[in-house]
Amino acid sequence: MKTMSATTRTLAEKVWERHVVHRAEGEPDLLYVDLHLVHEVTSPQAFDGLRMAGRGVRRPDLTVATMDHNVPTGPGVVDPVSVKQMEALARNCAEFGIELYPTGHLGQGIVHVIGPQMGLTQPGLFIACGDSHTSTHGAFGALAIGIGTSEVEHVLATQTLPQSKPGTTAVTVEGELPEGVSAKDVILGIIARIGTGGGVGKIIEYRGSAIRGLSMEGRMTVCNMSIEAGARAGMVAPDDTTFAWLERRPHAPKGAEWEDALDDWRTLPTDEGAAFDDDVVLDATKLRPHVSWGTNPGQTVTIDDVVPEATNDAAERALAYMALTPGMPIREIRPDTIFIGSCTNSRITDLREAANILRGRKVAAGLRAMVVPGSMMVKQQAEDEGLDLVFKNAGFEWRDAGCSMCLGMNPDKLEPGERSASTSNRNFEGRQGRGGRTHLVSPAVAAATAVAGHFATPQDLGGGAGNARSERARRANVVPRMNT
């Protein structure tokens, strides 16, 4: 990372510098990890590695585990192989003294939903997790990176990670978002612009009035998909929105420590005049709801567009896999499955946004639609607000928390040839089930599409989209109840 002078630094650089344990010429920096999030899929081999080397977990108090990738979210028989993986996590956490939120616990949920929910994700922290969507936590002004299993073992054993310093990219989104355009459309628009490799080797800082105007949930949606642009991490500078969201969460600082924390967090934003390696600017007022047409998250168009002509082999392959013809209006594509969930879009505001559109409406005939809340607390809060009834009355299945159909490790999968409108993050071939075809959209477009039976915006539905009660709840930014 470069700076204009020794006195101006970016947010990323400030957070990086406060975690350097050891630095030497020609070596990566050794960074201290403030919070290590663990789940059942990328950890069993790491714990085995510890046992084989006779090593322990250095800081169980900075480590938290949950079950999310494999967990069933509905009734039915659980795959015995998945059970084995969940049991292994429970055994490992018991053996090494790590707090675990297993299935059946109110604290359970997608790892990137529960960290913020508990108030463990805070500005200025360095956070690691064996999952590429760890970038989500950057919404709080934390530096948060996805790691592989060898690195998970490294963090467990040493609470540190050797890391080469990435470059920095400023992505500035200025202006007010048009009605019906959400955080998901912002990040899909950014990826469409910079490409799936556009962020490789970089930490992206999202800036500008459109980003400042997003809720914490919206900022999490944006940072979550940084990895889809190839970035090492994504960050948003902490501000009053961040502080208001964090205050009074179970693990947030209290009393005098809260005041100390605020003083510190206010020093984190990028200094005036600090330079980034790359600058990208987007006009928020020109954004429209996005729909992916291909097999990577860079292959998107707006809902007003048509399926594009293939300009290279990859696009041709994607069109064939997706069974789409160039020139076809996006609004004429008819999914058979609607999935609202994933670490990208499964938080309470996402559910409110979708429920707002579905209230008093029905899912189109023949469509399968499901909502999978990001955590059991989100589920409970939604039920307290009556959102479950809205979804169920509309014809949606109302599930327990988990990663679910985002990656199809549990029974929630697409069948070969099935097509989804999904609020998740990856439209890779087979991602939601062998032969499945995924279109990435926002919760609003997913809900409107469920009603219309083809890709649609809430405005397309006509009538009274929008609801005063839900809007009030959104503004109140209700903090979920905790029992930790």
Partner 1 sequence: MRPFTSHTGRALPLDRADVDTDQIIPAEHLKRIERTGFGPFLFAEWRTDPSFVLNDARFEGASILLAGANFGSGSSREHAVWALEDAGFRAIIAPSFADIFRNNCGKIGLLAVELPAASVQRLMDLARGDPASEITVDLEALRVSWAAGEYPFTIDPYTRWRLIEGLDDIGLTLRREADIARYEATRPTRLPSVTG
Query: In this chain, which of 3, 8, 17, 30 binds partner 1, going by CB under 8 A?
Result: 30
Please report, as residue ranges, which positions from 78 to 97 form the binding site for partner 1 (by CB under 8 A). 79, 81-82, 84-85, 88
Q: How far is the CB of 404 from partner 1 (least distance, A)?
A: 12
Compute the distance between CA of residue 266 and CA of residue 258 in angstroms, rounded to an integer.
12
Please report, as residue ranges, which positions from 98 to 117 form the binding site for partner 1 (by CB under 8 A). 99
Amino acid making up residue 426: R
Question: CB within 8 A of 273, min separation 6: which ones?
Answer: 4, 5, 8
**436 contacts partner 1 (rule: CB under 8 A):** no
Region from 150-158, 274-282, 385-393, 474-482 binding partner 1, contact rule CB under 8 A: 150-158
Please report, as residue ranges, which positions from 152 to 171 form the binding site for partner 1 (by CB under 8 A). 153-154, 157-160, 162, 164, 166
**53 contacts partner 1 (rule: CB under 8 A):** yes
The site string for partner 1 over 261-300 (x = CB under 8 A, - otherwise) reads x--x-------------------------------x----
Query: In this chain, which of 137, 347, 352, 426 binds partner 1, going by CB under 8 A?
Result: 426
Please report, as residue ranges, which positions from 463 to 482 form the binding site for partner 1 (by CB under 8 A). none
**428 contacts partner 1 (rule: CB under 8 A):** yes
Query: In this chain, which of 201, 213, 308, 386 binds partner 1, going by CB under 8 A?
Result: 201
What is the size of the binding site for partner 1 (CB under 8 A)?
81
**55 contacts partner 1 (rule: CB under 8 A):** yes
| Vertex 420 angle, CA 414 and 422, to 5° | 110
Nearer to partner 1, 33 or 355 (CB): 33
Query: In this chain, which of 131, 185, 385, 400 binds partner 1, going by CB under 8 A?
Result: 131
Q: Are strands 126-129 and 20-22 parallel, antiparallel or unpaired?
A: unpaired
Region from 38-46, 285-293, 444-452, 463-471 binding partner 1, contact rule CB under 8 A: 38-46
**308 contacts partner 1 (rule: CB under 8 A):** no
Roughly what angle, to the nearest 10 degrees, separates helices 348-358 and 443-452? 30
Q: How far is the CB of 147 from partner 1 (least distance, A)?
A: 6
Query: In this chain, which of 232, 347, 352, 399 binds partner 1, going by CB under 8 A?
Result: 232
Q: What is the 3-state secondary structure (H, E, C) of the chain?
A: CCCCCCCCCCHHHHHHHCCEEECCCCCCEEEECCEEEECCCCCHHHHHHHHHHCCCCCCHHHEEEECCCCCCCCCCCCCHHHHHHHHHHHHHHHHHCCEEECCCCCCCECHHHHHHHCCCCCCCCEEEECCHHHHHHHHHCCEEEECCHHHHHHHHHHCEEEECCCEEEEEEEECCCCCCCCHHHHHHHHHHHHCCCCCECEEEEEECHHHHCCCHHHHHHHHHHHHHHCECEEECCCCHHHHHHHCCCCCCCCHHHHHHHHHHHCCCCCCCCCCCCEEEEEEHHHCCCEEECCCCCCCEEECCCECCCCCCHHHHHHHHHHCCCCCCEHHHCCCCEEEECCCCCCCHHHHHHHHHHHCCCCCCCCCEEEECCCEHHHHHHHHHCCHHHHHHHHCCEECCCCCHHHCCCCCCCCCCCCEEEECCCCCCCCCCCCCCEEEECCHHHHHHHHHHCCCCCHHHHCCCCCCHHHHHHHHHCCCCCCCC
Query: In this chain, which of 2, 4, 5, 28 binds partner 1, going by CB under 8 A?
Result: 28
Query: In this chain, which of 3, 8, 132, 393 binds partner 1, going by CB under 8 A?
Result: 132
Please report, as residue ranges, which positions from 339 to 378 form the binding site for partner 1 (by CB under 8 A). none
Region from 32-40, 285-293, 323-331, 448-456 binding partner 1, contact rule CB under 8 A: 32-40
**122 contacts partner 1 (rule: CB under 8 A):** yes
Region from 42-50, 379-387, 449-457, 470-478 binding partner 1, contact rule CB under 8 A: 42-50
**42 contacts partner 1 (rule: CB under 8 A):** yes
Q: How far is the CB of 231 from partner 1 (least distance, A)?
A: 8
**74 contacts partner 1 (rule: CB under 8 A):** no
**32 contacts partner 1 (rule: CB under 8 A):** yes
**1 contacts partner 1 (rule: CB under 8 A):** no
Query: In this chain, which of 51, 248, 434, 481 binds partner 1, going by CB under 8 A?
Result: 434
- 242 phi, psi to nearest 5 deg: -65, -50
Q: Are strands 290-292 and 300-302 parallel, antiparallel or unpaired?
A: antiparallel
- 274 phi, psi to nearest 5 deg: -70, 140
**10 contacts partner 1 (rule: CB under 8 A):** no
Query: In this chain, which of 107, 116, 123, 130 binds partner 1, going by CB under 8 A?
Result: 130
Nearer to partner 1, 200 or 281 (CB): 200
Q: Are 371 and 343 in contact (CB under 8 A)?
A: no
**125 contacts partner 1 (rule: CB under 8 A):** yes
**147 contacts partner 1 (rule: CB under 8 A):** yes
Query: In this chain, which of 401, 407, 452, 465 binds partner 1, going by CB under 8 A?
Result: 407
Region from 170-178, 218-226, 257-265, 444-452 binding partner 1, contact rule CB under 8 A: 257-265
